[in-house]
Amino acid sequence: MKSPKPYFTNNVFELEESATERKALLDKIQSFSEDFIDTLDTQKAFHYDTHAATERDFFLKINRDKESLDDILAFFKERVVDTGLNPASGGHLGYIPGGGIYSSALGDYLAAVTNRYAGVFYASPGAVKMEDALIHWTGKLMGFSDGFGGNLTSGGSIANLIALHTAKHHKNITTSKASKSVVYCTSQSHHSIYKALKIIGLENCIIREIPLDSHFRISVSALGTQIKHDEHIGLNPFLIIANAGSTDVGAIDPMEKLSNISKTHNIWMHVDAAYGGFFMLTALGKERLKGIELADSVILDPHKSLFMPYGLGIVLVKNIDHLASAHAYSANYMRDAEMENQYSPADLSPELSKHFRGLRMWLPLKLYGESVFSGYLNEKLQLTNYLHQELKAIGYEVLCEPDLTVVAFRLELKNYDSDVLNKIILDEIQKDGRIFISSTVLEDKLTLRAAILSFRTHQKEIDLFLHLLKKIKHQLDI
Ligand SMILES: Cc1ncc(COP(=O)(O)O)c(C=O)c1O
């Protein structure tokens, strides 16, 4: 009998590799990854002046023809891995580092291979329950009582956006009310807060930057006075932004006091704990973050203080119904997915389809348990204390006692303009490349900052950093 003529023209099924082909691909990826991790100690934390390499990006272009995985990986290493910042390095002390633990990458691998539809309970009850378990664990860690809800986001900026949108919705800040509505923050608030206000249509609300105390924390008395004044002149105070670990110096605002004010004046209190929140896993962090449980919303970044690879934030809202009503939707084609007594992530955020990001957090927490993470965070606190003391000992000026794991400092030398001098130090450190730090502006002066948060940063890296600073100072101070 004649076989039937193929109806479809595509009889090439290369996207469905055979087991042998899959193994060959995986072996190469694995060997690349092993080599990357094994040589981290000798890799730079920062590749100074590598932008020229990426301008010649023609190898990264997508072509019609196939290329071999060996070639692709070689281009990837040259054009991507060996350029710019290396966040996987223990020498990364810039911005707020993360690190990227391996077990989390394996979680991502499994998430992509199984490709569960994590946004909707009906489609993947297991993936949604996993996300629920992670939200529950994080909320309890913050000290929230039952009734809270949350969402796993791509990072802190989107988590802030969701929280602020929920506050706006709950407080009914309509377009016509925006120009008389007031948000209270400080110059230490992260810029994602301002971005979020812009995105949610509150660009023209009144933003009051409240003065700071000598530790870069919000001045509670100035806040109280400002709110009373604003009420008196007929404005509508509706949102207080607190820092639980500011980006510049890691400052923690006094949250119990802020909560008292927010309750007295019926204002939503939001805590940006993107960096600091998981220090609740340590005794010192618990002490310093007292009052975080009183917030109406909190955000955290597991890709910072849980050392996960980039791509994971968390938003928590004290009353899950506020989060849900701010994101409520319905669509005919979603009717099969509607459930009673079970929110899906899609009910609680702007996303419908989403990365199955629960697995990258759940797998490491299941494998190692929370005490391992506490241990690493405690080590970072101790290293910060060490760096803080040693910087003073070698003649650098430290701006304030660190609340968490950021040390802000400057060198002041006779005959040098402070900004010029500290820019020279920054450039020298970056050119060396073994340690990476970033700068900011505090008290109108260029300020250097070291943030100790990578799981791969240990005493060796801090000693190298101190050695470099000592050497540079010596060269400049002759
Ligand atoms: C305090 C704080 N909030 C929010 C963010 C934004 O987080 P993400 O970069 O994950 O969007 C950051 C990022 O560094 C931060 O330090």
Which is nearest to 345 in space by CA: 361, 330, 364, 327? 327
Contact predicate 397/448, CB 8 Å: no
Alpha helix (H) ranges present in 62-142? 69-76, 102-114, 125-142
Across all residues in the chain, what is the average pLDDT? 95
Mutate to test the pocket of ligand 1, among 93, 190, 449 (most ligand atoms within 8 A of CB): 190
Q: What is the pLDDT of residue 252?
A: 98
Q: What is the pLDDT of residue 377?
A: 98
- For 203-228, the pLDDT digits (tens) are 999 999 999 999 999 999 999 999 99
Protein residue with least CA distance to atom 8, ligand 1: 156
% pLDDT > 90, the chain:
88
Q: Which residue has the tokens 């072509």?
A: 63
Please tell me the distance between residue 390's alpha carbon and the centre of ligand 1 in angstroms.
28
* Mean pLDDT, rounded, for 42-51: 86
Residue 2 scores a pLDDT above 80: no
Please tell me the distance between residue 145's alpha carbon and the centre of ligand 1 in angstroms.
25
Q: For residue 159, give the ligand 1 atom closest to its CA.
A: 11
Q: What is the pLDDT of residue 53?
A: 62
**57 — pLDDT class (breaks 50, 70, 90):** low
* Mean pLDDT, rounded, for 234-259: 98
% pLDDT > 70, the chain:
95
* Amino acid, single-letter form, for residue 83: T
Q: What is the pLDDT of residue 56?
A: 60
Please tell me the distance between residue 243's alpha carbon and the centre of ligand 1 in angstroms.
11
Protein residue with least CA distance to atom 4, ligand 1: 156
Residue 405 scores a pLDDT above 60: yes
Please tell me the distance between residue 440's alpha carbon and the centre of ligand 1 in angstroms.
15
- For 305-348, the pLDDT digits (tens) are 999 999 999 999 999 999 999 999 989 989 888 888 899 999 99
* Mean pLDDT, rounded, for 131-150: 98
Alpha helix (H) ranges present in 313-458? 320-326, 358-393, 418-432
Please tell me the distance between residue 259's alpha carbon and the centre of ligand 1 in angstroms.
22
Please tell me the distance between residue 70's alpha carbon and the centre of ligand 1 in angstroms.
36
d(CA 59, CA 110): 29
Please tell me the distance between residue 75's alpha carbon and the centre of ligand 1 in angstroms.
30
Q: What is the pLDDT of residue 58?
A: 56
* Mean pLDDT, rounded, for 177-189: 98
- For 425-440, the pLDDT digits (tens) are 999 999 999 999 999 9
Please tell me the distance between residue 246's alpha carbon and the centre of ligand 1 in angstroms.
9
Cβ < 6 Å from ligand 1: which residues? 95-96, 155-157, 190, 192, 247, 272, 274-275, 301, 313
Q: What is the pLDDT of residue 64?
A: 83
Q: What is the pLDDT of residue 61?
A: 80
- For 345-376, the pLDDT digits (tens) are 999 999 999 999 999 999 999 999 999 999 99
Q: What is the pLDDT of residue 421?
A: 97
Q: Whole-model pTM?
A: 0.96
Backbone angles phi, psi at 167, to 5 degrees: -60, -45
Mutate to test the pocket of ligand 1, among 217, 247, 252, 270 (most ligand atoms within 8 A of CB): 247
Q: For residue 154, give the ligand 1 atom closest to its CA.
A: 10
